[in-house]
Chains A and B, each alone.
Chain A
Amino acid sequence: MPTIVVEVMPKPELLDPAGKATAGAIAKQGSSTFSAVRIGKRFELTVDGEVTDAVLAEAQRLAEEFLSNQVIEDVVAVKVA
């Protein structure tokens, strides 16, 4: 069955404490290759049937209204896997 992937990230201007702590831990392991980490979420929505425009539109609406909180997060992708 097809899958729609929704990706949500904390807004770039907001502090991401989990990402910051992870970046700190990477630095402690001796790596200086990566200067920052931001952590987001990936949702995999299994579709019962064909992915039509209407299904994609519903996924987009769900992503914006429920899977993300637009005050603190952005939906960065809604796509068929």
Chain B
Amino acid sequence: MAVRIGVVTFPGSLDDRDAQRAVRLAGGEAVALWHGDHELQGVDAIVLPGGFSYGDYLRCGAIAAHSPIMSEVISAANAGMPVLGICNGFQILVESQLLPGGLIRNDHGDFICRDQRLRVENASTAWTSQFEAGDEIVIPLKNGEGGYIATDETLDRLEGEGLVAFRYLDVNPNGSLRDIAGLTNERGNVVGLMPHPEHATEPGFGPDTPDAMRSGVDGLRFFQSAIESVLARV
């Protein structure tokens, strides 16, 4: 039986279909979830996709964090279900206080879109178990408000407890403190990051690699990790 991974669509989500496709390419069954429902349809894991939920009104992710389905998502996350927040999804996780800190406008003030090199810092989360710690990957990044900030105390705790999941390499594209690109919670089931793994899952559509143009599929292992993690718990 295929592992069922739900992808929540909010008003203004952009990458929900891409995330569904990534789930299928990884061998899972993608389940469309709707922000206005209180129903997780029995999924095994959840993706909060990228986009501009509610037009980024108030703060990025702030209104989505209070949408009906998020009460179920937060309960499921607290019960250990794998939850991945990508870009706007990361912002929603932070606004829901499932992950600490905040995301503010890029320090250079511009929207940025590039293939971004990252280092996997924590390979023992539900979404990174198919990596080795220290692996370097390339996946697309596209955001205007991706600058990660937190107090020094929080940053020191994140570093000390190994909760920085991904770090930017080569360039820091948005002014994120300590080059933080993504985080995990203590339990390792909730992961959020600004770059987009779902856009690097199919040859011909991913970032360029030394082997061939657009052949990068480093993002696929995020979804394969979640599937493995669900199967390991059964």
Contacts and interface: CB of A to CB of B under 8 A. Distances in A.
A72 interface: yes
Contacts of A77: none
Contacts of B66: 66
Nearest to A24: B109
Given A14-B104, A14-B149, A69 B109 contact: no
Contacts of B150: 71
Interface residues of B, number: 20
Given A69-B102, A71-B150, A72-B102, A17 B62 contact: no
Which secondary structure dominates chain B's binding surface? loop
Contacts of B58: 66-67
A20 to B, nearest CB: 7
Contacts of A80: none
A21 B109 CA distance: 7
A66 B109 contact: no
A10 B150 CA distance: 13
Interface residues of A, number: 12
A21 B106 CA distance: 12
Contacts of B162: none
B62 A66 contact: yes
B109 A72 contact: no
Contact of B109 (A10, A20, A67, A71): A20
Interface in A61-81: 66-67, 69, 71-72
A18 interface: yes
Interface in B59-112: 59, 62, 66, 94-95, 100-102, 104-109
A27 interface: no
A57 interface: no
Contacts of A17: 104-109, 147
A71 B106 contact: no
**9 tightest A-B CB contacts, nearest first:** A71-B102, A72-B102, A17-B105, A17-B109, A21-B109, A69-B102, A69-B59, A72-B104, A15-B107
Contact of A18 (B101, B105, B147): B105
Contacts of A18: 105, 109
Interface string A1-20: 00000000010001101101
Contacts of A21: 109
Interface string B164-203: 0000000000010000000000000000000000000000
